[in-house]
Structure 1
Protein backbone atom coordinates (compact mmCIF):
# COMPACT_ATOMS: atom_id res chain seq x y z
CA UNK A 1 0.00 0.00 0.00
CA UNK A 2 1.34 3.42 -0.95
CA UNK A 3 2.23 5.93 1.75
CA UNK A 4 -0.40 8.68 1.38
CA UNK A 5 1.80 11.14 3.31
CA UNK A 6 4.57 10.87 0.73
CA UNK A 7 4.59 12.38 -2.77
CA UNK A 8 7.13 11.34 -5.39
CA UNK A 9 7.70 13.28 -8.60
CA UNK A 10 9.31 11.27 -11.40
CA UNK A 11 11.22 13.37 -13.88
CA UNK A 12 13.30 12.29 -16.90
CA UNK A 13 15.82 14.55 -18.64
CA UNK A 14 16.30 14.30 -22.40
CA UNK A 15 18.43 16.29 -24.83
CA UNK A 16 21.36 16.38 -27.16
CA UNK A 17 24.88 15.42 -26.18
CA UNK A 18 26.55 18.15 -24.07
CA UNK A 19 23.28 20.03 -23.51
CA UNK A 20 23.64 19.92 -19.72
CA UNK A 21 21.24 17.08 -18.85
CA UNK A 22 23.38 15.65 -16.05
CA UNK A 23 24.14 19.08 -14.61
CA UNK A 24 20.44 19.97 -14.70
CA UNK A 25 19.63 16.72 -12.91
CA UNK A 26 22.20 17.54 -10.23
CA UNK A 27 20.72 21.01 -9.75
CA UNK A 28 17.19 19.60 -9.48
CA UNK A 29 18.34 17.10 -6.86
CA UNK A 30 20.70 19.45 -5.04
CA UNK A 31 23.40 16.83 -5.37
CA UNK A 32 26.20 15.51 -7.54
CA UNK A 33 24.57 12.15 -8.37
CA UNK A 34 25.33 12.43 -12.09
CA UNK A 35 28.81 12.79 -13.57
CA UNK A 36 29.08 15.97 -15.62
CA UNK A 37 31.99 17.55 -17.46
CA UNK A 38 32.91 19.25 -20.69
CA UNK A 39 33.90 16.63 -23.24
CA UNK A 40 34.30 16.32 -27.01
CA UNK A 41 31.83 13.41 -26.96
CA UNK A 42 28.91 11.98 -25.05
CA UNK A 43 29.52 11.28 -21.37
CA UNK A 44 26.32 9.53 -20.24
CA UNK A 45 26.17 6.06 -21.78
CA UNK A 46 23.40 4.54 -19.67
CA UNK A 47 20.44 5.79 -17.69
CA UNK A 48 20.87 6.41 -14.00
CA UNK A 49 18.43 7.44 -11.30
CA UNK A 50 19.05 10.05 -8.65
CA UNK A 51 16.81 10.81 -5.70
CA UNK A 52 16.47 13.99 -3.70
CA UNK A 53 16.43 13.98 0.04
CA UNK A 54 12.98 13.97 1.57
CA UNK A 55 11.47 17.44 1.82
CA UNK A 56 9.36 17.13 4.95
CA UNK A 57 6.25 19.25 5.42
CA UNK A 58 6.33 20.21 1.76
CA UNK A 59 2.57 20.74 1.76
CA UNK A 60 -0.57 19.71 3.59
CA UNK A 61 -3.30 17.44 2.22
CA UNK A 62 -6.36 16.54 4.27
CA UNK A 63 -4.75 18.06 7.35
CA UNK A 64 -1.69 15.82 7.01
CA UNK A 65 1.83 17.03 6.26
CA UNK A 66 3.14 15.64 2.99
CA UNK A 67 6.77 14.71 2.35
CA UNK A 68 8.13 15.23 -1.18
CA UNK A 69 10.86 13.33 -2.97
CA UNK A 70 12.04 13.99 -6.52
CA UNK A 71 13.46 11.22 -8.67
CA UNK A 72 15.45 12.24 -11.76
CA UNK A 73 16.32 9.84 -14.56
CA UNK A 74 19.42 11.00 -16.43
CA UNK A 75 19.42 9.66 -20.00
CA UNK A 76 22.08 9.36 -22.70
CA UNK A 77 22.01 12.21 -25.20
CA UNK A 78 21.05 11.75 -28.77
CA UNK A 79 22.67 11.98 -31.16
CA UNK A 80 25.20 10.09 -29.08
CA UNK A 81 28.87 9.96 -30.07
CA UNK A 82 29.08 6.19 -29.46
CA UNK A 83 25.54 4.75 -29.28
CA UNK A 84 22.89 4.27 -31.97
CA UNK A 85 19.43 5.85 -31.72
CA UNK A 86 17.90 2.38 -31.28
CA UNK A 87 20.28 1.55 -28.40
CA UNK A 88 19.54 4.85 -26.65
CA UNK A 89 15.79 4.34 -27.15
CA UNK A 90 15.88 0.79 -25.70
CA UNK A 91 18.04 1.90 -22.76
CA UNK A 92 15.64 4.71 -21.87
CA UNK A 93 12.54 2.57 -22.36
CA UNK A 94 13.88 -0.11 -19.98
CA UNK A 95 14.91 2.51 -17.41
CA UNK A 96 11.50 4.22 -17.45
CA UNK A 97 9.75 0.92 -16.74
CA UNK A 98 12.32 -0.21 -14.17
CA UNK A 99 12.59 3.02 -12.17
CA UNK A 100 9.15 4.57 -12.51
CA UNK A 101 6.99 1.47 -13.04
CA UNK A 102 3.32 1.91 -12.24
CA UNK A 103 3.81 5.40 -10.81
CA UNK A 104 4.83 6.52 -14.27
CA UNK A 105 6.61 9.59 -15.54
CA UNK A 106 5.33 12.92 -14.29
CA UNK A 107 7.54 15.30 -16.27
CA UNK A 108 9.85 14.99 -19.26
CA UNK A 109 12.39 17.79 -19.32
CA UNK A 110 13.92 18.55 -22.71
CA UNK A 111 17.28 20.20 -22.05
CA UNK A 112 18.37 22.60 -24.79
CA UNK A 113 21.44 24.82 -24.84
CA UNK A 114 20.38 28.44 -25.28
CA UNK A 115 23.68 29.22 -27.01
CA UNK A 116 23.25 26.54 -29.70
CA UNK A 117 20.71 27.13 -32.49
CA UNK A 118 17.75 24.74 -32.53
CA UNK A 119 17.01 23.69 -36.10
CA UNK A 120 17.52 20.77 -38.44
CA UNK A 121 17.18 17.04 -37.84
CA UNK A 122 19.99 16.86 -35.26
CA UNK A 123 18.14 19.33 -33.03
CA UNK A 124 14.88 17.47 -33.49
CA UNK A 125 16.29 14.02 -32.57
CA UNK A 126 15.67 14.34 -28.80
CA UNK A 127 12.11 15.51 -29.48
CA UNK A 128 11.57 12.52 -31.75
CA UNK A 129 12.94 10.23 -29.01
CA UNK A 130 10.50 11.68 -26.47
CA UNK A 131 7.60 11.28 -28.93
CA UNK A 132 8.46 7.65 -29.63
CA UNK A 133 8.91 6.77 -25.95
CA UNK A 134 5.98 8.66 -24.48
CA UNK A 135 3.42 8.52 -27.29
CA UNK A 136 1.02 11.14 -28.56
CA UNK A 137 0.47 12.79 -25.18
CA UNK A 138 4.17 13.69 -24.78
CA UNK A 139 3.36 17.40 -25.15
CA UNK A 140 1.15 17.35 -22.07
CA UNK A 141 3.98 16.64 -19.65
CA UNK A 142 7.09 17.96 -21.36
CA UNK A 143 8.86 21.23 -20.58
CA UNK A 144 11.97 22.78 -22.12
CA UNK A 145 14.92 23.83 -19.95
CA UNK A 146 17.39 26.24 -21.56
CA UNK A 147 20.92 25.82 -20.23
CA UNK A 148 23.90 28.12 -20.77
CA UNK A 149 21.50 31.08 -20.64
CA UNK A 150 24.20 33.16 -18.98
CA UNK A 151 26.04 33.25 -22.32
CA UNK A 152 23.00 34.83 -24.00
CA UNK A 153 22.56 37.31 -21.15
CA UNK A 154 26.30 38.08 -21.26
CA UNK A 155 25.93 38.96 -24.94
CA UNK A 156 23.24 41.48 -23.99
CA UNK A 157 20.40 39.57 -25.64
CA UNK A 158 17.08 39.80 -23.81
CA UNK A 159 14.65 36.91 -23.57
CA UNK A 160 12.26 38.71 -25.95
CA UNK A 161 15.05 39.27 -28.50
CA UNK A 162 16.13 35.65 -28.17
CA UNK A 163 12.64 34.38 -28.91
CA UNK A 164 12.17 36.89 -31.74
CA UNK A 165 15.35 35.61 -33.43
CA UNK A 166 14.74 31.92 -32.64
CA UNK A 167 14.21 29.39 -35.42
CA UNK A 168 10.71 28.41 -36.47
CA UNK A 169 11.59 24.89 -35.28
CA UNK A 170 12.23 26.10 -31.73
CA UNK A 171 9.14 28.31 -31.69
CA UNK A 172 7.00 25.40 -32.92
CA UNK A 173 8.42 23.20 -30.16
CA UNK A 174 7.70 25.81 -27.47
CA UNK A 175 4.15 26.25 -28.78
CA UNK A 176 3.58 22.50 -28.80
CA UNK A 177 4.51 22.26 -25.09
CA UNK A 178 2.33 25.31 -24.32
CA UNK A 179 5.33 27.58 -23.64
CA UNK A 180 6.43 25.49 -20.64
CA UNK A 181 10.06 26.51 -20.50
CA UNK A 182 12.62 27.70 -18.00
CA UNK A 183 16.12 29.05 -18.34
CA UNK A 184 18.94 27.95 -16.14
CA UNK A 185 21.60 30.60 -15.64
CA UNK A 186 23.91 28.39 -13.59
CA UNK A 187 27.13 27.59 -15.38
CA UNK A 188 26.96 24.10 -16.80
CA UNK A 189 30.06 22.04 -17.34
Structure 2
Protein backbone atom coordinates (compact mmCIF):
# COMPACT_ATOMS: atom_id res chain seq x y z
CA UNK A 1 0.00 0.00 0.00
CA UNK A 2 1.39 3.39 -0.99
CA UNK A 3 1.21 6.03 1.72
CA UNK A 4 1.27 9.79 1.36
CA UNK A 5 1.91 12.09 4.33
CA UNK A 6 -0.01 15.33 4.65
CA UNK A 7 1.78 17.71 6.99
CA UNK A 8 -0.17 19.89 9.36
CA UNK A 9 -0.04 23.63 8.91
CA UNK A 10 -0.37 24.34 12.61
CA UNK A 11 3.17 24.92 13.80
CA UNK A 12 4.84 21.83 15.23
CA UNK A 13 1.59 19.89 15.62
CA UNK A 14 2.79 16.26 15.44
CA UNK A 15 -0.51 14.86 14.14
CA UNK A 16 -0.47 13.71 10.52
CA UNK A 17 -3.00 12.11 8.19
CA UNK A 18 -1.78 9.08 6.27
CA UNK A 19 -3.86 8.27 3.21
CA UNK A 20 -3.59 4.96 1.44
CA UNK A 21 -5.38 2.41 -0.70
CA UNK A 22 -6.54 -1.06 0.28
CA UNK A 23 -9.00 -3.61 -1.05
CA UNK A 24 -11.89 -1.71 0.44
CA UNK A 25 -10.95 1.61 -1.16
CA UNK A 26 -9.27 4.73 0.18
CA UNK A 27 -8.64 4.94 3.91
CA UNK A 28 -7.34 7.65 6.19
CA UNK A 29 -5.39 6.99 9.37
CA UNK A 30 -4.46 9.50 12.07
CA UNK A 31 -0.84 9.32 13.16
CA UNK A 32 0.77 10.99 16.16
CA UNK A 33 4.56 11.30 15.85
CA UNK A 34 6.46 12.13 19.05
CA UNK A 35 10.16 12.93 19.39
CA UNK A 36 11.59 11.51 22.62
CA UNK A 37 15.03 12.44 23.98
CA UNK A 38 16.85 10.14 26.43
CA UNK A 39 19.19 11.87 28.88
CA UNK A 40 21.38 10.34 31.56
CA UNK A 41 24.86 9.47 32.72
CA UNK A 42 27.05 6.52 31.72
CA UNK A 43 25.53 3.13 32.54
CA UNK A 44 22.31 4.78 33.73
CA UNK A 45 20.19 2.51 31.52
CA UNK A 46 19.24 5.03 28.80
CA UNK A 47 19.63 2.56 25.94
CA UNK A 48 17.61 -0.10 27.77
CA UNK A 49 14.82 2.42 28.35
CA UNK A 50 14.96 3.29 24.65
CA UNK A 51 14.63 -0.38 23.73
CA UNK A 52 11.61 -0.69 26.01
CA UNK A 53 9.96 2.31 24.37
CA UNK A 54 10.31 1.01 20.82
CA UNK A 55 9.82 -2.64 21.77
CA UNK A 56 13.06 -3.97 20.33
CA UNK A 57 16.81 -4.29 20.76
CA UNK A 58 17.83 -1.42 18.50
CA UNK A 59 19.96 0.51 20.99
CA UNK A 60 23.24 -1.07 22.01
CA UNK A 61 23.45 -2.00 25.69
CA UNK A 62 26.17 -3.50 27.85
CA UNK A 63 28.86 -2.72 30.38
CA UNK A 64 31.19 0.13 29.53
CA UNK A 65 34.95 -0.37 29.48
CA UNK A 66 37.32 1.95 31.35
CA UNK A 67 34.54 4.45 32.00
CA UNK A 68 33.65 4.82 28.31
CA UNK A 69 29.95 4.84 27.50
CA UNK A 70 28.49 2.27 25.08
CA UNK A 71 26.77 5.21 23.38
CA UNK A 72 29.33 7.48 21.72
CA UNK A 73 27.11 9.23 19.17
CA UNK A 74 23.51 10.34 18.81
CA UNK A 75 21.27 7.49 17.70
CA UNK A 76 17.72 7.75 16.37
CA UNK A 77 15.39 4.76 16.27
CA UNK A 78 11.69 4.82 15.50
CA UNK A 79 8.68 2.52 15.45
CA UNK A 80 5.06 2.83 14.38
CA UNK A 81 2.55 1.31 16.82
CA UNK A 82 -0.58 0.88 14.75
CA UNK A 83 -3.97 1.78 16.22
CA UNK A 84 -2.33 2.47 19.57
CA UNK A 85 -4.95 4.88 20.95
CA UNK A 86 -8.18 6.65 20.13
CA UNK A 87 -8.42 10.39 19.49
CA UNK A 88 -11.72 12.12 18.91
CA UNK A 89 -13.36 8.76 18.38
CA UNK A 90 -10.89 7.59 15.71
CA UNK A 91 -8.09 5.07 16.00
CA UNK A 92 -4.64 6.61 15.75
CA UNK A 93 -1.16 5.23 15.20
CA UNK A 94 1.64 6.24 17.56
CA UNK A 95 5.06 6.82 16.01
CA UNK A 96 7.87 7.13 18.54
CA UNK A 97 11.15 8.65 17.36
CA UNK A 98 13.59 7.98 20.19
CA UNK A 99 17.00 9.66 20.35
CA UNK A 100 19.69 8.21 22.61
CA UNK A 101 22.46 10.64 23.51
CA UNK A 102 26.12 10.19 24.51
CA UNK A 103 26.79 11.35 28.07
CA UNK A 104 27.13 13.62 29.79
CA UNK A 105 24.80 15.71 27.59
CA UNK A 106 23.73 15.84 23.94
CA UNK A 107 25.11 18.23 21.37
CA UNK A 108 22.37 20.82 20.69
CA UNK A 109 22.95 20.96 16.92
CA UNK A 110 22.83 17.15 16.66
CA UNK A 111 19.50 17.03 18.48
CA UNK A 112 18.12 19.78 16.26
CA UNK A 113 19.21 17.93 13.13
CA UNK A 114 17.49 14.73 14.29
CA UNK A 115 14.41 16.52 15.65
CA UNK A 116 13.96 19.77 13.69
CA UNK A 117 10.33 19.96 14.89
CA UNK A 118 11.53 19.91 18.51
CA UNK A 119 11.36 17.41 21.36
CA UNK A 120 7.99 16.42 22.79
CA UNK A 121 9.13 14.38 25.80
CA UNK A 122 12.37 14.34 27.80
CA UNK A 123 13.13 11.06 29.57
CA UNK A 124 15.68 11.58 32.35
CA UNK A 125 17.31 8.28 33.34
CA UNK A 126 19.07 7.91 36.71
CA UNK A 127 20.26 4.82 38.56
CA UNK A 128 18.38 4.41 41.81
CA UNK A 129 21.44 2.79 43.42
CA UNK A 130 23.70 5.70 42.43
CA UNK A 131 21.65 8.79 43.37
CA UNK A 132 24.71 11.02 43.76
CA UNK A 133 25.74 10.66 40.12
CA UNK A 134 24.90 13.25 37.46
CA UNK A 135 23.93 16.05 39.85
CA UNK A 136 24.56 18.51 37.00
CA UNK A 137 21.69 17.06 34.95
CA UNK A 138 19.06 19.67 35.88
CA UNK A 139 21.29 22.64 35.11
CA UNK A 140 22.31 21.28 31.72
CA UNK A 141 18.77 20.37 30.66
CA UNK A 142 17.60 23.89 31.52
CA UNK A 143 20.46 25.31 29.49
CA UNK A 144 19.37 23.22 26.51
CA UNK A 145 15.62 23.84 26.67
CA UNK A 146 14.89 26.71 29.03
CA UNK A 147 12.65 26.70 32.15
CA UNK A 148 9.70 24.97 30.46
CA UNK A 149 11.51 21.63 30.23
CA UNK A 150 9.96 20.30 33.46
CA UNK A 151 6.51 20.29 31.84
CA UNK A 152 7.82 17.89 29.18
CA UNK A 153 9.94 15.61 31.38
CA UNK A 154 9.58 12.39 33.30
CA UNK A 155 12.11 10.63 35.50
CA UNK A 156 12.97 6.94 35.16
CA UNK A 157 14.90 5.37 38.03
CA UNK A 158 16.58 2.17 36.89
CA UNK A 159 18.16 -0.63 38.98
CA UNK A 160 15.21 -0.41 41.35
CA UNK A 161 15.80 -4.04 42.36
CA UNK A 162 18.49 -2.68 44.67
CA UNK A 163 15.76 -0.91 46.62
CA UNK A 164 14.02 -4.21 47.30
CA UNK A 165 17.29 -5.70 48.52
CA UNK A 166 17.62 -2.76 50.90
CA UNK A 167 14.02 -3.12 52.07
CA UNK A 168 12.97 0.26 50.67
CA UNK A 169 9.65 1.16 49.05
CA UNK A 170 9.63 3.82 46.28
CA UNK A 171 8.03 6.48 48.48
CA UNK A 172 10.51 5.79 51.25
CA UNK A 173 13.40 5.91 48.85
CA UNK A 174 12.42 9.31 47.47
CA UNK A 175 12.11 10.74 50.98
CA UNK A 176 15.64 9.58 51.83
CA UNK A 177 17.50 10.14 48.58
CA UNK A 178 19.81 13.05 47.74
CA UNK A 179 18.36 16.56 47.71
CA UNK A 180 18.87 17.14 43.98
CA UNK A 181 17.18 13.87 42.99
CA UNK A 182 14.26 14.43 45.33
CA UNK A 183 13.76 17.93 43.94
CA UNK A 184 13.93 16.55 40.40
CA UNK A 185 11.33 13.87 41.17
CA UNK A 186 9.00 16.48 42.63
CA UNK A 187 9.53 18.95 39.77
CA UNK A 188 8.99 16.89 36.61
CA UNK A 189 5.43 16.93 35.30
CA UNK A 190 5.54 13.33 34.04
CA UNK A 191 6.29 11.85 37.45
CA UNK A 192 8.63 8.99 38.36
CA UNK A 193 8.85 5.39 37.14
CA UNK A 194 10.90 2.73 38.92
CA UNK A 195 12.38 -0.02 36.73
CA UNK A 196 14.23 -3.10 37.88
CA UNK A 197 17.46 -4.16 36.23
CA UNK A 198 16.28 -7.55 34.98
CA UNK A 199 16.49 -9.13 31.54
CA UNK A 200 12.72 -9.09 31.01
CA UNK A 201 11.76 -5.62 32.22
CA UNK A 202 12.06 -3.88 28.81
CA UNK A 203 9.34 -6.04 27.28
CA UNK A 204 7.18 -5.90 30.41
CA UNK A 205 7.49 -2.16 31.04
CA UNK A 206 7.38 -0.97 27.45
CA UNK A 207 3.64 -0.36 27.31
CA UNK A 208 3.44 1.54 30.65
CA UNK A 209 6.36 3.71 29.52
CA UNK A 210 4.70 4.52 26.22
CA UNK A 211 1.38 5.24 27.92
CA UNK A 212 3.08 7.63 30.35
CA UNK A 213 4.77 9.44 27.45
CA UNK A 214 1.50 9.75 25.58
CA UNK A 215 -0.35 11.19 28.59
CA UNK A 216 2.42 13.68 29.28
CA UNK A 217 2.53 14.87 25.68
CA UNK A 218 -1.26 15.18 25.57
CA UNK A 219 -1.14 17.31 28.72
CA UNK A 220 1.10 19.69 26.76
CA UNK A 221 -1.24 19.56 23.73
CA UNK A 222 1.60 17.74 21.90
CA UNK A 223 3.65 20.93 21.77
CA UNK A 224 7.38 20.40 21.32
CA UNK A 225 10.34 22.04 23.04
CA UNK A 226 12.90 23.75 20.83
CA UNK A 227 16.53 23.03 21.60
CA UNK A 228 18.74 26.07 22.02
CA UNK A 229 21.32 25.48 19.30
CA UNK A 230 23.32 28.57 20.21
CA UNK A 231 24.50 27.08 23.53
CA UNK A 232 27.72 25.08 23.83
CA UNK A 233 28.25 22.35 26.42
Q: Tell me whether the two structures share a fold, i.e. TM-score over 0.5.
A: yes
Aligned pairs, number: 172
Give the equivalent residue in structure 1 for 2:42.
Answer: 17
Tell me, yes or no, if structure 1 residue 167 matches structure 2 residue 178: yes
Any stretches of 5+ residues in structure 1 without a counterpart? 79-87
CA shift, 1:138, in A, is 1.0
Tell me, yes or no, if structure 1 residue 33 matches structure 2 residue 58: yes
Any stretches of 5+ residues in structure 2 without a counterpart? 1-5, 8-15, 18-29, 200-233
1:121-143 per-residue CA deviation (whole Å, 9 max, x = no partner) reads x5222222211111121111111
Look up the SS of the partner of 1:101 in the other structure. coil
Higher helix fraction (1 or 2) = 1
User: TM-score if structure 1 supplies the norm length?
Assistant: 0.83
1:96 to 101, 111, 126: 111
Q: Mapping of 1:1-189 within 5 angstroms?
A: 1-2=6-7, 3-4=16-17, 5-39=30-64, 40-41=66-67, 42-52=69-79, 54-78=80-104, 88-89=105-106, 91=107, 93-102=108-117, 104-118=118-132, 123-178=134-189, 180-187=191-198
Q: Distance in 1 between matches of 2:128 and 2:141?
A: 19
Q: Distance in 1 between matches of 2:58 and 2:137?
A: 22
CA shift, 1:185, in A, is 1.7
Kindly indicate whether the alpha-carbon contact (under 8 Å) linking 2:36 and 2:97 is maintained by their aligned counterparts in 1.
yes
User: TM-score if structure 2 supplies the norm length?
Assistant: 0.68
Q: Distance in 2 between matches of 1:23 and 1:33?
A: 9
Look up the SS of the partner of 1:146 in the other structure. strand
Q: Distance in 1 between matches of 2:102 and 2:43?
A: 10
Kindly indicate whether the alpha-carbon contact (under 8 Å) linking 2:151 and 2:190 is maintained by their aligned counterparts in 1.
no
State the superposition RMSD in angstroms: 1.8
